[in-house]
Amino acid sequence: MAKTSKSLIDLIELAATRHGGASGRRLAELAQRAGHDISHATLNRLRQGTYATRPSDASIRAIAYLADVSENVAFAAAAVTAPAAAVYQPPAEAQRMTTRQRKALDELIRAFAADDKPAPAAGVDFGRLLAARERLTTALTAGGERVAAERLAEAAWEAVAGIDEVIDALFAAASDQDPTGGESLSDFTGLSTKHPARAVG
């Protein structure tokens, strides 16, 4: 049985939070009203990490809509490569193929697609970064200048830390190193991303 990517689960949780703690049924209704194809059963199984197969492209797009993130982010969270924007068209010579040859080619294309390798960022845990994004959104819409400024500063530092985490994981994956060791973003930039208030002492 396939296991739902933790980052995709995080994205669904973010969607639920954005819609006032909505249930899977409510989220599915909202997505369907916007023209997306996803059922509450699919959302609930994905949320629980018990979905048996890779979610469909339509389901991933629906989750992107519900969480208010780009489709590329949602596909990366699902650990699959986003479909190309351009629709694949076979060359004109394909019209000369027999029915048997066309069926064989169709199966070959399906086999290639089923063996899809995720993009370099796929599989990276975006949970902390998604949470920081939500905090930034909240801070930007908070009432009162002082409150907004304080919340924005805290959220910004959380976002920086989350971004560093993801970048460190990507560096580690690219060099076959453990994320907790080896080079990190600060090694490349010479900068510390710790919150100033926490860096003292």
**pLDDT of 136-181, one tens digit each?**
777 666 666 666 677 777 777 777 777 767 666 655 555 554 444 4
> Any residues with CB less than 8 A from the CB of 64 and at least 6 apart, and which?
11, 70, 71, 73, 74
Instruction: Specify the pLDDT at position 166.
Output: 67
199 versus 9: the higher-pLDDT residue is: 9
Rounded to an integer, the average pLDDT of 71-76 is: 84
Q: Using CA atoms, how far apart are residues 39 and 36, in angstroms rounded to an integer?
A: 10
To the nearest whole percent, how much of the chain has pLDDT over 70?
Answer: 62
Residue 115: count of CB within 10 angstroms of its CB: 7
Cα dihedral across residues 169, 171, 172, 174: positive or negative: positive
Mean of all residue pLDDT scores within the chain: 74
Q: Using CA atoms, how far apart are residues 168 and 162, in angstroms rounded to an integer?
A: 10
**Ranked by mean pLDDT, which of 81-85, 93-97, 154-158, 188-192 comes out on top?**
93-97
Q: Using CA atoms, how far apart are residues 26 and 158, in angstroms rounded to an integer?
A: 30
Rounded to an integer, the average pLDDT of 12-18 is: 90
Give the helix ranges, DSSP H, for 36-144.
40-48, 57-67, 71-77, 99-114, 127-140
Largest Cα–Cα distance of the chain, in whole Å?
Answer: 75
Tokens of 171: 């560096």
Rounded to an integer, the average pLDDT of 109-134 is: 64
Nearest to 141 by CA among 153, 125, 152, 129: 152
Please check whether residue 120 is in contact with residue 107, taking contact to mean a CB–CB distance below 8 angstroms.
Answer: no
Instruction: Specify the pLDDT at position 4.
Output: 61
Please, what's the b/e burial string for 22-42 (b: 16 or more CB within 10 A of its CB; e: otherwise)? bebeebbebbeeeebebebeb
Q: Using CA atoms, how far apart are residues 45 and 4, in angstroms rounded to an integer?
A: 9
Tokens of 195: 């919150």
pLDDT surpassing 80 at residue 5: no
